[in-house]
Structure 1
Amino acid sequence: MTHLRSKRLSRPGHGKVVAAVLGLVAALGLGAIGEAQAAPPAQAAPAADRWTDRPHGFASLAGGTTGGAGGKIVTVTDQAALARYAAAEEPYVIRVKGSVEMDPFGTEIPVASDKTIVGVSDSAEIVHGGFTLDPGTHNVVIRNLTIRDTAIEGNWDCKDTDFDGIRLDTAHHVWIDHIRFSRICDGQLDIRKDSEYVTVSNNQFTSNNKTFGIGWTPNVRTQITVDHNWFRGTKQRNPSADNCAYAHLYNNYLSSQLSDGDPVWTYGNWSRGRTKMVIENSYYDGVQHPYQADASAELVQRGSVLRNTTGRHDAWGAAFDPREFYDYRLDPAAAVPALVKRFSGPQKRVGGPVVLHVPGAYPTVQSAVDAVPDGNDTPVEIAVAPGTYREKVYIPASKPNLVLRGTGRDRSDTVVVFDTPAEYGGSTGSATVRIAANDVTARNLTFQNDFDEAAHELKGEQALAMKTTGDRIVFEDTAFLGNQDTLMTDSPKLTTVSRVYLRDSYIEGDVDFVYGRATTVIERSVIRALSRGSDTNNGYITAASTWTGNPHGFLITRSKIVSDAPAGSFHLGRPWHPGGEPEAVAQVLIRDTELPAAIKTAPWTDMSGFSWKDARFAEYRNHGPGAGVTADRPQMSDADARTHTVAHYLKGTDDWAPYARHH
């Protein structure tokens, strides 16, 4: 591989772990951050999206390191599954949950290229074993795990065993991050035999002899960044770098050095062979030989804190300038102990909710959905960048716990659109987006079916922007654009109650454009009734098909209905009995909502031979030019209105309350 000479090569930004620590530094009163930059207030520090962090330093160069991004996500709880997915040819994001104990003792699982291995929360661990990356392996991320206990009692020097925590042999583009290594025999982390473009960050190296070695080659090829790590209770190789082309060590904390009285082989950092090493703003507390260099090597040290150190403090030669390769932000050395103690090792944030980015690792929304494992039990967010995505999206029932989030400033920035009418697949087949899974949330997005009825000489043709059948579906700050049957909120079958909550959203259409049998609450939203050019009948806002055993169908509350249709030409709704089903008896309440002049004075009407008077239609305290109280406008009583609120509609048997964070 070609050595780097300039940061003009592609690189992502510095790792976001810095952003996470800024607030802590400010709170501790530790002064300036980086070089002449004041710490922002704690509340100003942006939250780090730690799952999708890209590595900084050398692992970010020459194409970068993305691990299994773009591949499927799997969660493993045992050695067999971990080994199977780690060795697979295709990309995988492998989430390790709980404790995985290696058998036989000392097993090192081979990891193939294009893998991310990440612990779930801060409790995932590999016990009695580790990982190995064999020659040619590349693009690997290993994060947020404890790797421990391959040391054998009485074998401190590990002369009879070679069980490594993680070993790289001629691998490239690797990021090791937020790992806790403990009691490994021999090397906790060995980066060997011309491995290149490696970043080692935010780890804890504890209770070990030969801790972290780099080299084992006569060549001078390895480029490595080592930052924000905590070495405590370790004896040597913290790290030792032999024949590294470039070794950049900064903001590391070496403390509580384990010493057995050895005058030579108890040390901190060692620049060996022909290594060029740069050490910046690190903190050495009670360390023997904190940094040293062979006569043939170069070592530059600047800005570190030395406390109770003894022995060699070598610094000679020019080494190299890391900023010729990549940008980075130094924390002050005095702040390093507090920062590293808090933020190194496994973190709940790192192994928390999964974030999949569209485009980027996933070119389409559907490809990101497809990457979510069946039976998903952990929230997965699909972050969709601004743009127009002409595709159909299906979230099957097997993929719950998803969040679709547009990342633009406005919901109109991110549009998922297609143009299938019901003529080619019925209502289900026409839907641009179909959600069959439970516990799905969409935010800051627009869903559209832009089928052009006029262009196809079709009138009254269904063309759904969205169909849901899952339970506990939330839409926040979303828009639904279409004509007939824009938004269908349904359930798997008549007697199954599914719940949908829309807030601060926008829905437009003309005929039955909010319909279905799900319990559906529309709150603080705008509903636009589009004109079809008629002076007398331009359409129907709702077409509920609520099961007669469900007291809660549609609730439109604290919202605004708008229309450019002529006065008195739009219905509030009609009762839909799919297939003539007598047990589908619409229930719709529109309350505390502004109505336009386009609403008819008799706003409810019959459908397919079923009288609106047999349905459960009501209004309560509506206002605006289209509001009114007549014999054809049933009004809910104050007493009944107290039990027809957002909470009553959505509560169910599980006390679901998605509105609570807004109220």
Structure 2
Amino acid sequence: MAAVAATCSAQGWASQNGGTTGGGTATATVVTTYAALKTAIQNSSVKMIQVNGTITIPAAGRISFQDQSGKTIYGSSGAKLVSADQTASGSGIIYMKRCNNIIIRNLIFEGAGAYDVDGNDNLTVDACNNVWVDHCEFRDGVDGNFDIKNVSDYITVSYCKFTYLKAPKPDGPGGSDDHRFANLIGSGDGATADRTHLNITFVRCWWAAGCKGRMPRVRFGKVHVVNNYFNSTASSNCVQAGFEANLLVEGNTFENVTKPIDLMSNNSTAVQSKNNVFTNVSGNTSGNGVNAFTPPYSFTILSAAAAKTAVTGSGGAGATLSGNSCTSF
């Protein structure tokens, strides 16, 4: 049976450019198998998809989701998409390209484990506008857990949890023995078309056990990292300020991590650290001395301590909902 549609609206950057409503109140198509899920995702007339149970993505079965608008994909309680493919060409779960006005909510994405074969992430958002990813959990992506690239814009990632529970597979041809990297924003320093794009809000998210780095790593975009919780003891760096990044890191709690704010090569546009709490951390905690952008939206910003409670509590970060409901922030 399809759940009642969410009634709250996207906030953060996804509230701009006309807002993000997904499939609205359309009747959900309920899917329980890979074939049904793929068909529903690739059918542009299906505007609401409810995932029930665990769906296994077959080898090389990554789903291409292209050139659509106005769609919501959400999970009922415990819904999970699982891929065991660790190859360069076959890894990943959903690849979204040239889509607009999309909501993905309350789903667990579980990959095969980190392995540097230049493979795919559990979820990739490529050249998309107005996307809201809410209350999802991303585990054990091969190349990373969830990346955003190629002039994507007006994105909000809220109440999501990123974790690596499987040991990384070493000696990948890409050169890294530990590729437990969570979120890459922008594909390279040379991708200058990304200038003025990649405007993204990460709010009330949790970078948890096993994450090594890229929490997130940012190039070019105006990225608001606000009211999140970082506690991966496996970290070598958390927020990473890459080429021409404009980063506002605000009201977060960092505990037992290394390099909460990594200034990398010091070629960012602006990095501002504001009202954060750092407990038992090592490495840099400050910005680069340049104030970041002023967000064009507003919502209630909690203290860092209150944000940690919201992130880790009932209904907090991860696929903690019963279906297509949501939590305002």
Q: State the Cα distance separating 1:115 from its structure 2 match.
A: 1.2
Q: Of residues 37, 44, 55 in structure 1, which corresponds to 2:10?
A: 55
User: Cα 1:252–1:227, aligned 2, differ >3 Å: closer, same or farther?
Assistant: same
Aligned: 1:86 with 2:56: no
What is aligned with 1:288?
Answer: 258
Distance between the aligned counterparts of 1:224 and 1:352, measured in 2?
22
Residue identity in the other structure for 1:194:
V
Select between 227-236 and 214-223 the one with higher mean Cα deviation: 214-223
The C-alpha deviation readout for 1:198-217, integer Å capped at 9, x for no partner, is 00010010017111110112
Matched, 1:320 2:293: yes
Check if 1:144 corresponds to 2:106. Answer: yes
For residue 283 of structure 2, what is the amino acid of its counterpart?
G
Q: In structure 1, what is the Cα distance between the partners aligned to 2:123 and 2:230?
A: 20
Is 2:252–2:275's contact at 8 Å kept on the other side of the alignment?
yes
Give a deviation string over 1:523-562, Cα, whole Å, max 9, x none.
Answer: xxxxxxxxxxxxxxxxxxxxxxxxxxxxxxxxxxxxxxxx
Q: Deviations over 1:43-98 (max 9, x none)?
A: xxxxxx98222210010111111111254421111111111111122251100000
Mapped partners of 1:205, 1:50: distance in 2: 25
2:238 to 268, 278, 288: 268
Structure 2 counterpart of 1:307, which letter? T
Q: CA deviation at 1:105?
A: 5.0
Map of 1:501-516 to 2, 5 A cutoff? none
Of residues 272, 275, 280 in structure 2, which corresponds to 1:303?
A: 275
In the alignment, does 2:82 pair up with 1:127?
yes
8 Å CA contact 1:67–1:139 kept in 2: the answer is yes
1:237 matched to 2:207? The reply is no
Which residue pairs with 2:160 in the alignment? 203
Deviation track 1:413-455 (CA, whole Å, cap 9, x = no partner) reads xxxxxxxxxxxxxxxxxxxxxxxxxxxxxxxxxxxxxxxxxxx
By how many angstroms is 1:313 displaced?
2.3
Give the TM-score, by structure 2 length.
0.83
Structure-1 separation of matches of 2:255 and 2:63: 33
Consecutive unaligned residues in structure 1, runs of 5 or more: 1-48, 260-265, 354-663
Structure in which a larger fraction of residues adopt helix:
1
Alignment map for 1:616-655 (pairs within 5 Å): none
Q: 1:336 aligns with which of 294, 307, 321?
A: 307
Q: Read off the aligned partner of 1:170 and give its amino acid letter.
A: A
Contact kept in structure 2, 1:108 and 1:163, CA below 8 Å? no
Aligned to 1:113: 69
Q: Which residue of 1 aligns with 2:318?
A: 345
Contact 1:91 1:113 in 2 (8 A): no
Distance 1:191 1:74 in 2: 27
Counterparts of 1:277 and 1:332, CA distance in 2: 19
Identity of aligned residues (%): 28
Which AA in structure 1 matches 2:95? Answer: T
Aligned AA (2:272): V
- Shift of residue 337, structure 1, vs aligned partner: 2.4
Distance of aligned partners of 1:167 and 1:283 in 2 relative to their CA distance in 1, 3 Å threshold: same
The residue aligned with 1:258 is 234
Matched length: 289
User: Per-residue displacement from partner, 1:545-599 (whole Å, max 9, x unpaired)?
Assistant: xxxxxxxxxxxxxxxxxxxxxxxxxxxxxxxxxxxxxxxxxxxxxxxxxxxxxxx
Please list the CA deviations of residues 143-194 of structure 1 after superposition, one character each: whole Å capped at 9, or x if unmatched. Answer: 001100322xxxx4x2225131110111111011111111111111110111
Aligned to 2:176: none
**How far apart, CA to CA, are the structure 2 residues paired with 1:314 and 1:304?**
10
Does the CA contact (< 8 Å) of 1:70 and 1:91 recur in 2?
A: no
Work out whether residues 38 and 63 of structure 2, in 8 Å CA contact, stay in contact via their aligned partners in 1: no
- Is contact 2:135-2:321 (8 Å) kept? no
1:73 equivalent to 2:39? Answer: no
Instruction: Give the TM-score taking structure 1 as reference length.
Output: 0.42
Equivalent-residue separation in structure 1 for 2:160 and 2:46 (angstroms):
24
